[in-house]
Structures are given as structure tokens and as C-alpha cells.
Structure 1
Amino acid sequence: MSQFADDTKLVHMNLPGTHDACTWSYTPDVQKSLEHYTGPLPDSAIFRCQQHSIFQMLNEGIRVFDLRYAWNPGMDTIGFYHAQALLAPTTRMEDVLFGLYTWLERHPNEAVLVSLNYEPAEGRSNDARLQEALYRILTSSLAKRYWVQTRGKLETLGEARGKLTLLRRFDFDLLPAHLPERIGIHLDPRHWTINGKATELVYNKEENHIAYIQDNYRIPPSPDSNPSWCIDKKFGVIVKHLGDATNPNLHADQLYISFSSAAFRTEEISLVPRAYALGLEENDTKTKGINERLLNWLTDQQGKRLGIVLLDFYDAVPGLVEAIIGPRIVSRT
């Protein structure tokens, strides 16, 4: 990011990110060791979306992290989940944030965006105590050194350097009135369309700031569906949304968020997240995955604004992160 001018708006930048970033260490052995917390779960491959640590992700150019949280067992600390899967019962949100703070100290020209999203499941509660615990983490004296403190605005790169910017996919609706401070971009979960192909979500009504979001993760079953058909369907949704982001005459100063990820469904049991991302072989036929197809598509988009692009298994296709970042983009301010 040192190659970009301070006055570059974050909404004009191409920011590669990782969907469900904390799943990187979720293996069959980890899943088995946590059954006394979760009960039996389906194949761990259904839940795993990454294979590199968060420090590796940072060092390889990832600048947006999708983190899903809920109470850890015992309800004393906040940890990370993917759907029903508990990812690490002793890892606290503070631990991950301390790691990000440390990395930013060493890379003060960089800016990192963190999307926090409550992960509901049976037996969990997004209660007032959880909201207050999260509030305390995000507004501590240490946090105020490392989080951009403005609300409802994505500022320039210069204002975000050396800091975390919060994409707040949760509500603070149960906090007591004496805790008024809020930070970040509130991407209201009540207006975030579940499985949406093209959501328009206003996060700052006064200044008409809108997030355009593609989060189409569950491909509907079809009588003629097969793995190749499903990957084709998801890829078509991605490039439609990214194509809108590249159009300078279409919402050029608004935020674009595109998920390349897709979820397992029982109608196509071979299509776990890794298969969507990297493809698979069936009956001596190779089906290309989303990542390889996306890399090919991006070769014709160099120099264009894409916005935030969230990936699964980004590192398995060399050059994908670099293709998203692209050449230096001149500020439009």
C-alpha cells in the first residue's frame, strides 16, 4: 500500500480478502478433538475455507478478514466459528486482534479491514453480555490506538494506514445507554440479504454511502445440476458483480464487496468449499475452480476498480492476489 497515495479512497482500491479466515487450521483431527463441545459434525472439509495462517495471509497481500464469532465454551471469552464448527475453544478474539496490532506495528503503511459477523447456531446466544464484551474489546484504550474511530465512513488510505477498519456485520442493540460510542461501517445484518446476488445496503444515510454486496453462497439445486454447472453458476454471479464494480459510470464512489466462496450442499456432496475454489476431477473430467477462472478473467481487468474480493484457498492459485491488487490505481479524488 506504500505505492498508493494517501488521498486514495478505500472504496477505490482493490482489496483481496479471505472468507472465514479463522478456518485455516480446522482439520479432521481438530474436529474430532472438539466433539465433546459440538457433538458429531459432518466432514471437516465442509467448514474449512483457508489453509494459511493469518500472519501468512497478511504477508501474502490479504488485507480484508472475514471473522465469525460467538461465545467460546464456558461463555467467558469470545472465539471463532464457522456454522456449527467451533474452530479453537481457547483462542480469544483479543489474541487474533493482538496479532493484527503487532503486524501493523511492523507495517505502518498498510491498512487492514476486519469484518466481524456473529455466527448463530443452536445453543448460542447473541445476548447483551456478548455485545458488551465485544464492545469492551473494540473500545479499550489499546484498541483505540489501532482501530479507525470514525463511524459510518470509509476514509482515505492515509487515514487508515497502520490501523484496522471495522466492517460491522452485527448490532449493538442490547448495549446499555451509557455506552454510546460506536466505530466502523455498520453493515446492518437485518438488511444484508441472505444468499444475495446484488444487495444494496445503505450504511450512511446522511451522505448516501451504500455497500453493493454479492454474497451468493448457496447454489440452488437444479434437475440438470452437476459440479461443473454449479461452479459455472457461481462464477457467473461473481463476474456480473465484479463487472459492475469495474464500471466507472456505475456507483464509482461506493463500496463493492464480492464473495467468491460457495457453501456445501447435500445435492452435490463433492462440492465442499475447496472444490468450488480449486475445481475437481470426476470421471476423468477436470472441472476448473472459481480461483483459476477468476485469475483468467482478471487479466482483462487490470487497472480497474474491483473493491473487496473475498476468497477461499486464495494461495492455491499463484498470482490471484496480485491480479486482484493490479497495477497502481491513480486516486480519483
Structure 2
Amino acid sequence: MQQYLADSALAEILERAAPILGRDNLNGESTLTSDWMSRFSDDTKLVDMNLPGTHDAATWDYSDARQAELIKYTGPIRPAKYFRCQERSLVQSLNDGIRVFDLRLGYNPGNDTIGLYHGTAVLGPTTTLQDVLYGLYSWLIAHPSETILVSINQEAGSNTLYDKKFEEILFATLNNDVGKKFWLSTAGGLGTLGTARGKLILLQRFTYQFLSSPPANPFGIHLDAEQWIPNGGDIKLIYNKVPKRVAYIEDTFKPLVPPNSGAEVNITSKFEVVTAHINKAMINASKPGVDEALYISFASAYADYANVKTPVTPNIMALGDASTKGMNERLMPWFKQNQGKHFGVVFLDFYHSQPGLIEAIVGF
């Protein structure tokens, strides 16, 4: 009876999480990509691995129809195509081999719980961050050889505040008794795959400001938002001083080209920036005096929408249009050509449009 109650409670949480988490149609079964980390030895350093991720991972179900349902919470905003960056749910992405999620937070309507956003778009007004995390915990129980890196920050454009209440809810969500069993408890470093199996690792893109004292047991790595240069193509963040551990980040979310340049110019510019940064990862994976060199590249982008005649949406950047190839189609042969080399973390939009892209990054 006790197990039945526990299973029923989890089922209720997963159903509430489904608008963001999705549903697991594999039911825990293993595939080539769902358990790919099992092929690597325990002593493999996570910073030495190629880890595919999804940018704005929670936007997969944000269609025009979904936006129409949620317009009562947001008021009129840009069409859904400007916010949607994915087409596969979090669970589907995990089964496809994605191991890093970019999650953006804000208050759900009512300001009593924290949910998921992209800009002004609320993505699931009754789904909480805690619901989604329980879904990730559940997936890890079924796939104990794997680890999931979760990047978390408060979405600046969400029209919700980062205040004391928000921080208290976020801290309690990450540090409850269940979370303590699943978040890797070490701080200031990523360590080895062996210590991370069956765990989540926090990429903390926020700084605690209101707690009466710093967390007694911090975990994950702190990627200080103050040092994360907006639209930066070559960001350097020291997330641990001794031993020295550094993140090298490319996050050019708006290509540095003139307005109204069109898809070809924007995509070509972004492709050159991304591949140049990954080239640095391939050449400088090990740096003198640096204990961990974590390379993070965002293949995602869009062209500025203000006063632009032909806006280049995230979908066009990733997939291209009738006249030009998108990022995913361009990256596929590039990764294959450099197979066996070090890429680091690569965040993608609409990755499923290019079959085999995840396998090419991982190195199958």
C-alpha cells in the first residue's frame, strides 16, 4: 500500500510536469542514445566529454495554439515562432542523448511558485520547477549510468522579479530532502563521470543575494551572471579560484551583422563564431595552470526583430530557409569531419531536424 501511494504521488507530479517535461514513451528501456554515457569509463573527466544540450529547453511545446491558451497570463506578445527553440520534450531529449538543459525561470501566475519562461512567454503556468526536477530524478533512476547538467537562471525578460521570495523558493526547491539525493553535492568543479552517474549537476547562472547566510552546502559550479557578457562571443568565467577552473563561453545570440542582412548572412556569421570557439576547445582543451577548462558553445541565435523586414527566427537560424542551409545542417558535416576531437558543451535549437547530429557531437 505504501509503495502504491508513493507511485500515485509521483504519477501526479509527472502529469503536472508534462507540459514542460513531456512523457517517456520508452518507459525506461535503453537505446543507443538513452544510455550513451555507459560506454565511458568512470574516470572520464566531464570537462573532457562532448555534451550536447538544448537552449531554452522548455519551449518545445510553445506553439501558436499553446500561446493562445496562455495569452490571458501574458497579454499580447510576439508570435510563438519567436519564442520556440525546440521540438522535443525534455524526456524525449534525454532519450535522444541530450545531457545539458538550459532552463529559464520566473514566477508562475500568482507569484507563489517558480515556473519556466522564455522572455515574456510563460511556458506552463501550473508546472513548477520542482515538478520538472522530480521528472529528471525519475529519469535518472531508470538510467543510472547517465548524468544531467542543468543550467538555471532567472529569465530577465520574464516580467517577474528576482526578489527575496523568489530566491527562498528556488533555494528550497534545490535543497529539499529529495533534491539532496540527486544533485551532485560537490562544489566548484565537475569532476569525473563516475562520481556524477545518476546525479544532476547545477550550472548556477544566478547569485544568492537575499539569504541570511550563504548556503551551508553549495553544489555545482557558479557561472556568475554579472560576468556573463550579453551577446559575448568569447566569455571567460572563473568558477573556482584554487584550483583554477575556468569556463570559456560563446553566447552570441544575435549575430553581429547589419540589420536586415537576411538568413544567409546571419547564419554564416553565427556558424563562423561557433566553429571558431569550438576550435579553441579542440586546441586548448588542456591549459597550463587550469584544472578544468569547460567550453560552452551556443549554436542558437536569432536576428533582431525590431524594425527588421525579414526577421530570422530561431527556427530559421537552426533549419535555414528555401535559399540557405541552417546551423544544424552546416554543423553536421563539420562535427563528422572533426570526429574524435573535443567540442565541450554544445547547445542546440531544433536538433532533431538533423538526424544523427547528437551522435556526431558525442562521437559515435
Percent identity at matched positions?
48
The counterpart of 1:132, out of the listed 148, 168, 172, is: 168
Supply the distance in 2 between the matched residues of 1:254 and 1:317 (Cα, whole angstroms): 29
2:3 equivalent in structure 1:
none
Q: Can you give the 5+ residue segments of structure 1 that lack an aligned partner in the other structure?
A: 328-333
CA contact (8 A) 2:101 2:150 kept: yes
Distance 1:298 1:244, change over 3 A: same
CA apart distance, 1:280: 0.3
CA contact (8 A) 1:227 1:268 kept: no
Do residues 300 (structure 1) and 341 (structure 2) align? no
Supply the distance in 2 between the matched residues of 1:188 and 1:122 (Cα, whole angstroms): 19
CA apart distance, 1:219: 1.8
CA contact (8 A) 2:203 2:222 kept: yes
CA contact (8 A) 1:13 1:305 kept: yes
More contact order relative to length (CA 8 Å, sep ≥ 6): 1
Letter of the structure 2 residue corresponding to residue 86 of structure 1: V
Equivalent pairs counted in the alignment come to 323
CA apart distance, 1:220: 3.3
Do residues 208 (structure 1) and 249 (structure 2) align? no
Distance 1:302 1:226, change over 3 A: same
Distance 1:50 1:249, change over 3 A: closer
Do residues 278 (structure 1) and 342 (structure 2) align? no
Supply the distance in 2 between the matched residues of 1:264 and 1:272 (Cα, whole angstroms): 7
CA apart distance, 1:249: 6.4
Supply the distance in 2 between the matched residues of 1:263 and 1:47 (Cα, whole angstroms): 10
Supply the distance in 1 between the matched residues of 2:309 and 2:275 (Cα, whole angstroms): 23
Supply the distance in 2 between the matched residues of 1:133 and 1:79 (Cα, whole angstroms): 11
1:314 equivalent in structure 2:
351
CA contact (8 A) 2:208 2:214 kept: no
Supply the distance in 1 between the matched residues of 2:301 and 2:256 (Cα, whole angstroms): 11
2:17 equivalent in structure 1:
none
2:114 equivalent in structure 1:
78
| CA deviation profile, 1:173-201 (whole Å, cap 9, x unmatched) | 21122753321100000001110001000
Supply the distance in 2 between the matched residues of 1:105 and 1:229 (Cα, whole angstroms): 45
2:301 equivalent in structure 1:
262
The counterpart of 2:156, out of the listed 110, 115, 120, is: 120
CA apart distance, 1:307: 0.5
CA apart distance, 1:30: 1.3
CA apart distance, 1:117: 1.2
Per the alignment, in what secondary structure is the counterpart of residue 77 of structure 2? coil
Give TM-score scaled by structure 2 length.
Answer: 0.86
CA apart distance, 1:316: 0.7
Supply the distance in 1 between the matched residues of 2:215 and 2:274 (Cα, whole angstroms): 39
Supply the distance in 2 between the matched residues of 1:249 and 1:265 (Cα, whole angstroms): 33
CA apart distance, 1:221: 4.2
Do residues 324 (structure 1) and 361 (structure 2) align? yes
Distance 1:264 1:229, change over 3 A: closer
Q: Can you give the 5+ residue segments of structure 2 that lack an aligned partner in the other structure?
A: 1-36
Supply the distance in 2 between the matched residues of 1:236 and 1:210 (Cα, whole angstroms): 23
Aligned CA-pair RMSD: 1.5
Higher helix share: 2
CA contact (8 A) 1:244 1:250 kept: no
Letter of the structure 1 residue corresponding to residue 319 of structure 2: L
2:5 equivalent in structure 1:
none
Per the alignment, in what secondary structure is the counterpart of residue 168 of structure 2? helix
